[in-house]
Amino acid sequence: MSQVVEHSEENRGAFSSRKVFILAAIGSAVGLGNIWRFPYVAYENGGGAFLIPYLIALLTAGLPFLLLDYGLGHRYRGSAPLAFRRAHKAAEGLGWWQVGICFVIAVYYAAVIAWAARYAFFSFDKAWGDDPEGFLFGTYLQAGDPGIGLDFVSGVTIPLVLVWVAVLAIMALGVQKGIGAASVVFIPVLFIAFIALVVVALTLDGASTGLDALFTPDWSALGETSVWIAAYGQIFFSLSVGFGIMITYASYVGRRSDMTGSGLVVGFANSGFELLAGIGVFAALGFMATAAGVPVDEVATDGLGLAFIAFPAIISEAPAGALIGVLFFGSLVVAGVTSLVSVIEVVISAVRDKFEMSRVGASMAVGVPAALISIVLLGTTTGVYVLDIIDHFINRFGILLVAVVSMLALSWAFRKTGLLREHLNRDGSVKIGRWWELLIGVFAPAALTFILANELVDNLRTPYEGYPTWMLNTLGWGLAVAVILIGFLAARLPWRDTTFLGDPEIKARQDERSN
Amino acid sequence: MSTSAIVMMLVAMLVLWGGLALAIWNINRYTGEEPGQVERDL
């Protein structure tokens, strides 16, 4: 049996060193949300005072949850379904639920990267002219009425195809030569490019006005529940925890690696990058507000509005605007690609483990259908609405829900947190105490359940953005429920006879003793 | 920028970037075992 385990590990692939694993994990955690979500969330929720709930959320929920994912993947050395299956026979469905969510996210995430890549080129001649909003929805996306149509937009479809070709090439190359090598190149490039962007943004007139708006503390905000919800939500969504990515990546690390020390580096690198993004984005928004003669709150925004409407306006007005455009949209592309790679790897790794497929075979079996669905749904005049609805619902009633259920199941139903704590402590440079089990089993699920309940009430009371009910019921609620059903159905498929379903750590220790 | 904004910006930098520096220093001084036998990705 030991040969089965060894053979399986060799075939799954692995990162060549802890450094490569950390860079890949940072690449996954640092995504579009760090750049276009954090700055506005901080600004809207107390400015400088937001640092306090943000840090508390990082230490009491973000890092503990990250270590839970690390412990699960590292101990059981498998993709999300295999790791959960090895932890407990009844847990496999949770892993497939996470796999389903990742497939859905990959489908729409690629489209945003394609838009950003196109906008990097638009920056050279400021193609949006004096009306970035009209250009985005009218000229570029050619957005029609909400629905699902098949009128393709070449300006979206062509870069989308190129994104998928690049991502599938990385995936086919494997864990080390593909994901690892891409992370080793892309993450330093991302940090250097964004630091350059921040330096340029800080030289603009009005930059200090923007920073003043971002960092001036509103201490009264600390008494508001919504601010604490925002802090926990930001930490949760930005760390890539709870939906299989960190489980998968941790399974590719050497058996005796320091996972707690690695987790601290990844957690603080993610938050450190968010701070950098906040400085860069608000320095640029300060310039925009000063140039327009309006207060910062009239120009501050987040998400697609920040990236594809506010930043084009800044690029048009600023000296060295083309440079700002290339650095900003280039950073979005790099951050997006490293995150997309990690999301799709969750699915590929699961398919490889379950069906014992080759790396190239599994990459194509997963990637080609994902790419086709992505191009058909997102490459059209209705793509922006499809993206908006899926993103909204799968984040809340997919990622958030599976995260809460997984934490509670591992803590209370399967009672694995004690074992995982011992595992993490065995080679961890930072020892974690029993308080970690309390955070994972009680505090973090309670905080996330509170957020989830708020979201549920809001979405039931008010249909999201006034979209047609049939769209919300299919692409929103329907898809969130479908990934659960498909996940637990997939768990009923049998494993191959050669797949080892016991605890690989126990087997490895027995092998060490017998040798 | 107001004094309070400057102070909070510096505190944020110190905590988050300082935390990152400390975390990197911590793993560099710790000599764990690197994977030597599982590099192949067939």
Superfamily (CATH) of domain A2-514: Amino acid/polyamine transporter I (1.20.1740.10)
Residues A312, A116 contacting (CB under 8 angstroms): no
Share of chain A above pLDDT 90, in %: 82
Question: Which of these ranges, A104-108, A336-340, A393-397, has the smallest mean pLDDT?
Answer: A393-397
The SS3 of residue A37 is coil
Q: Where are the domains of chain A?
A: 2-514
Residue range A336-344: mean pLDDT, rounded:
96
Q: Given a cut of 90, is residue A101 above it in pLDDT?
A: yes
User: What gap in Å lies between CA A417 and CA A72, rounded to an integer?
Assistant: 9
Q: How far does B6 lie from chain A, in Å, by closest CA? A: 7
B35 confidence band (pLDDT: 50, 70, 90): low
The DSSP bridge partners found for residue A380 are A152
Nearest to A14 among B15, B16, B35 (CB): B35
Q: Given a cut of 50, is residue A1 above it in pLDDT?
A: no
Q: Give the pLDDT confidence score for residue B41 in this predicted structure.
A: 42
Q: Give the pLDDT confidence score for residue A242 in this predicted structure.
A: 86
Task: Encode pLDDT of A424-441 as tens digits.
Answer: 999 999 999 999 999 999
Q: Given a cut of 70, is residue A323 above it in pLDDT?
A: yes
Q: Given a cut of 70, is residue B36 above it in pLDDT?
A: no
Q: Give the pLDDT confidence score for residue A50 in this predicted structure.
A: 93
Task: Encode pLDDT of A200-230 as tens digits.
Answer: 999 999 999 999 999 999 999 999 888 998 8
Average pLDDT taken over every residue of chain A: 92
Residue range A323-341: mean pLDDT, rounded:
95
Task: Encode pLDDT of A396-414 as tens digits.
Answer: 899 989 999 999 999 999 9
Residue range A135-140: mean pLDDT, rounded:
94
Q: How many CB atoms lie within 10 A of CB A468?
A: 14
User: What gap in Å lies between CA A49 and CA A428, rounded to an integer?
Assistant: 33
User: What gap in Å lies between CA A265 and CA B27, rounded to an integer?
Assistant: 8
Average pLDDT taken over every residue of chain B: 81
Q: Given a cut of 90, is residue B37 above it in pLDDT?
A: no
Q: How far does A178 lie from chain B, in Å, by closest CA? A: 10
Q: Given a cut of 60, is residue A9 above it in pLDDT?
A: no
Q: Give the pLDDT confidence score for residue A316 in this predicted structure.
A: 92
Residue range A171-196: mean pLDDT, rounded:
93
- Supply the DSSP string of A450-491, one letter for each residue: HHHHHHHHHHHHS-GGG--HHHIIIIIIIHHHHHHHHHHHHT
Q: Give the pLDDT confidence score for residue A236 in this predicted structure.
A: 86
User: What gap in Å lies between CA A282 and CA A396, rounded to an integer?
Assistant: 27
A157 confidence band (pLDDT: 50, 70, 90): very high
CA distances to A110, A124, A135, A247, A326 from A161, in Å: 9, 22, 22, 29, 21
User: What gap in Å lies between CA A81 and CA A103, rounded to an integer?
Assistant: 14
Q: Given a cut of 70, is residue A2 above it in pLDDT?
A: no
Q: Give the pLDDT confidence score for residue A12 in this predicted structure.
A: 79
Q: Name the nearest CA neighbour of A462 among A385, A392, A361, A377.
A: A392
Residue range A436-465: mean pLDDT, rounded:
93
Nearest to A212 among B5, B29, B32 (CB): B5
Q: How far does A28 lie from chain B, in Å, by closest CA? A: 17
Question: Which of these ranges, A166-170, A186-190, A474-478, B38-42, has the smallest mean pLDDT?
Answer: B38-42
Residue range A286-298: mean pLDDT, rounded:
93
User: What gap in Å lies between CA A75 and CA A62, rounded to an integer?
Assistant: 20
Kindly state whether B4 is in contact with chain A, defined as any CB-CB distance less than 8 angstroms: yes
Of all residues in chain B, the one with the smallest CA distance to A283 is B1
How many residues belong to chain B? 42
Q: Given a cut of 50, is residue A4 above it in pLDDT?
A: no
Of all residues in chain B, the one with the smallest CA distance to A267 is B20
Residues of A in contact with B14 (CB under 8 A): none
Q: Give the pLDDT confidence score for residue A8 in this predicted structure.
A: 54
Task: Encode pLDDT of A229-283 as tens digits.
Answer: 889 888 988 998 988 999 999 999 988 899 999 999 999 999 999 999 999 999 9
Q: Given a cut of 90, is residue A40 above it in pLDDT?
A: no
Nearest to A216 among B5, B11, B39 (CB): B5
Share of chain A above pLDDT 70, in %: 98
